[in-house]
Amino acid sequence: MPNYQPKSAFSSRLNARAGRYLSLSKTGRFADIGQWFRSCLLFLFCAAVYSLTYTDIAPWLLLLSAAVLGAGIYTLIATVCHDAAHGSFATSKWVNAICLFAGFSLIGVSGKLWAERHLRLHHMYPNIAGTDIDADGSSLLRLSPSKPWRTWHRFQCWYAVFLYALVLPHLAFVEDFEHLRKARRTWPDKFSGVWPIVEFAASKTIHICLFLVLPLVLTEHGIAFLACYYIVFVSCASLLFVAINVGSHISDAAEFFDPDSDGDLPLDWAHHQIRTAVDWSPTSKLAIALTGGANAHSAHHLFPRFAHTHNRALSRMVIRTAREFGVSLNILAPWEVLRAHMTHLYKMSLPPQIVDGSRAGGG
């Protein structure tokens, strides 16, 4: 794996301030009672919207409820399961594991497998060639300057949105199987044996039963209508995931890095996290509550073991320390995040010889 440069004075100052903040926090690094309350309300809301599937409401209203349900379940995963993956939603490992499994099962994804890849790869090595699970995804899209260019990439700005709408079902029914095979070989301490297989199979079974089998058996909706309902549901959840998360790294405002011949990177860990992350409204309490802190991405990557409710205070700390050390942060307006992602997508669609050789932002 790549090697970072030694810790900088900027990183040491940040860690010292985070340590003082942690010592004064009533809940430590974990979620507070407000986050638990909002999470329970969100779960009940999703359950109520899902129950509409078994009523006789107008078909167009039912399709609208599918979109709302997709948005609700995505928000549940972003605000509860993501923290649980980092061990910061609850103080109990078992509670975190249950939340992680239950939430990701709603979209048919193995929470245990996703968390392992998210923590070991994405958080350790964002925007580094060959290590980041986001930038090194499907060959249908070229998201990183280190990926080989293919003829079809020339049109990726036109077809990307259709692929983005299938991100979650593709993860659940295609990528997850390949990831499990690799995980059992790479991390046998966590994925060998029977229980990882049981968790993996259960996540698929719950999703299939809730959204395919039960509606087909217990309602009078036709197969064609239920297929439309399912497509609306997964597409809405997938597009929200892409809109809120992908632009936080895959962006013209972020940088991409390749290790040198010795496997060394040019920056220390803290500077690398900042240079590869994009923020929008990082001190907004509402934005943090709705996105699980994805909008305050620099703070989250610098302090990944904190629940997202701490990200407002941590973002202020990062901004203050960055100013003191002359460190530039990538902070955009919300609409600029989408523009920067599309600009990057366009640059990556061009043959490499047409694009400037710089690695920054893919441009």
pLDDT tens track for 198-213:
999 999 999 999 999 9
Instruction: Please write the tens of the pLDDT for every residue from 71-117.
Output: 999 999 999 999 999 999 999 999 999 999 999 999 999 999 999 99
Candidates 232, 230, 173; CA nearest to 205 is 173
Is a pLDDT exceeding 60 seen at residue 361?
no
Q: Hey, where are the domains in the chain? A: 1-363
**With bands split at pLDDT 50, 70 and 90, how would you rate the model's confidence at 139?**
confident
For the segment 303-356, what is each residue's pLDDT rounded down to a tens digit? 999 999 999 999 999 999 999 999 999 999 999 999 999 999 999 999 987 655
Q: Which value, to the nearest 10 degrees, does the dihedral of the CA atoms of residues 274, 279, 282, 288 take? A: -110
Instruction: Return the bridge partners of 279, or none.
Output: 331
Q: Are 160 and 142 in contact (CB under 8 A)?
A: no
Radius of gyration, alpha carbons of the chain:
21
pLDDT at 354: 63
pLDDT at site 136: 66
Using an 8 Å Cβ cutoff, are 248 and 273 in contact? no
Distance between CA atoms of residues 190 and 178, nearest Å: 16
Q: Map residue 266 onto helix, strand or coil.
A: strand
Contact call for residues 128 and 258 (beta carbons, < 8 A): yes
- Sort strands 3-5 and 264-268 into parallel, antiparallel or unpaired: parallel
Give the chain's mean pLDDT.
93
CA distance between the termini of the chain: 25
**Stretch 165-188: mean pLDDT:** 94
Q: Look at residue 326 and give its three-state secondary structure.
A: coil
Give me the residues paired with residue 183 across strands. Answer: none
Section 152-170 average pLDDT: 96
Q: Compare 138 and 36 and report the one with higher pLDDT.
A: 36
| pLDDT interval class at 363 (50, 70, 90) | very low
The residue among 14, 7, 2, 6 whose CA lies nearest residue 323 is 14
| Sign, CA torsion 160/165/169/172 | positive
Helix 311-325 / helix 9-24 crossing angle, nearest 10 deg: 150
pLDDT in tens, 245-261: 999 999 999 999 999 98
Give the model's confidence band at 129: pLDDT under 50 very low, under 70 low, under 90 confident, else very high.
Answer: confident
User: What pTM, to 2 d.p., does this model score?
Assistant: 0.93
Ordered DSSP codes for 137-152 = --TTS--STTSPP-GG
Q: Are 248 and 337 in contact (CB under 8 A)?
A: yes
Contact criterion met (CB below 8 Å) for 62 and 52: yes
Angle, alpha carbons 97-115-85 (nearest 5°): 50
- Write phi, then psi, for 193 (nearest 5 degrees): 90, -170
Residues 1-17: tens digit of each pLDDT: 789 999 999 999 999 99
